[in-house]
Amino acid sequence: MGIKMSWEEFARSMGVEPQILENKEARLLKKFVMDLKVPTHCIGCQGLDLSNPNPVHHPSYELTPACNHDCIFCYSNVAVKLGKVPKPGYYGWENPKAITVSQYGEPLLSKRIVKVNRMLRERFPNARLDLQTNGSLLTEELWEKLDFDLVMISLDAATREKHMKITNADTFDAVVNALRIVGADKSIRSVVRTIFMPGINDEDIPKIAELASSLGVDEMMLQPLTIHELNVERLKKAGLDFERAESVRELLKTAMEAKKYIDVRISGCQLAIYRTMDPLTLFGARRVARDVVPLVKRSREGF
């Protein structure tokens, strides 16, 4: 019968101290993950509770599936093509902790944005109201009419040329101006929302962080790319490194670079999982980046 040894004992029997088997970069990544804060947008989300077998995102109010951008990675575009976009309305429950306006399309295209904003504030006075927008239509005049607690503005490039490549829209200056508007308003939490697309924009991300910080933006929410099948060819043509897009290590290393300039955070539900991993597992972890069109996992209310 063989003698059972722990891995530490086995290492020493081979003349190697256990700590030498560890990876310095892995330990650094683990510490970075443990020090990260949950994105403000994710506070109160069911996805932070790993014991919940079927978590859903915050409720949302959908205004329109239309958008003035045509981003190469967009799940909303896929939903439109497949006829899977949610109808306008509230998707959620009574007494929500937060409501997002909106998860599909560009909400500022809707003429109802101000009316819906006020209606949600009146009906759910205790809920945090989050606006998710590409920012290209946000003006000082419109901002004075809106009443949100948190604003997430999407920006995935640091130059006009790269922005056009990703969004197929010449709106870079308008988006930067939107970041300036919300960054100057210290009564709300301002967030630049950036998608990690290695091979396309990974070198831009620290520059986006620096730009946003210079405009007074509070936070960067760095999100991994979900690759929807209908977007594969567009992403391939743009130069996406599909292998690196699935690497948790590559995402975290980019977040570390951006952290030099701004309060960087990664998706809360993923952060919760990464925190449970030991350093070496985290170092080699990969995520399944491919997906079908996302579906709203909550019922629609009649208002």
- In terms of phi and psi (left: phi > 0; alpha: psi -120 to 50; beta: otherwise), the region of 89 is left
> CA 290 to CA 226: how far, in whole Å?
6
Q: What is the pLDDT of residue 7?
A: 62
Question: Per residue in 186-211, pLDDT tens?
Answer: 999 999 999 999 999 999 999 999 99
DSSP string of 223-244, one letter each residue: EEPPEEGGGHHHHHHHT--HHH
For residue 291, give the nearest of 148, 96, 131, 84 by alpha carbon: 84
- pLDDT, position 300: 81
pLDDT tens figures, 49-96: 999 988 888 999 999 999 999 999 999 989 988 899 999 999 999 999
pLDDT score recorded for residue 56: 86
Q: 38 is written with which tokens?
A: 């949950």
Tell how strand 60-62 and strand 128-133 pair up.
unpaired
Q: Rounded CA gap, 46 and 82, in Å?
A: 28
Residue 116 contacts residue 101 (beta carbons within 8 Å): yes
- Enumerate domains of the chain plus CATH numbers: 20-301 (3.20.20.70)
Distance CA 142, CA 124 (A): 22
Q: 87: buried, middle or exposed (CB in 10 Å: 19+, 13-18, 0-12)? A: exposed
Contact 129, 170 (CB under 8 A): no
Closest CA to 146 of 193, 114, 120, 168: 114
- Condensed to tens digits (0 to 9), the pLDDT of residues 216-265 reads 999 999 999 999 999 999 999 999 999 999 999 999 999 999 999 999 99
Percentage, residues of the chain above pLDDT 70: 93
What pLDDT was estimated at residue 292?
A: 66
- Residue 63 token pair: 């205004």
Read off the pLDDT of residues 146-174 as tens digits, 9 standing for 90 and up.
999 999 999 999 999 999 999 999 999 99
Mean pLDDT, the chain, integer: 93
The answer to whether residue 116 scores a pLDDT higher than 80 is yes
Percent share of the chain, pLDDT over 90 = 82
pLDDT of 1 higher than 70: no
pLDDT digits (tens, 9 = 90+) for 4-39: 777 667 767 777 666 555 588 999 999 999 999 999
At 247 the three-state DSSP class reads strand
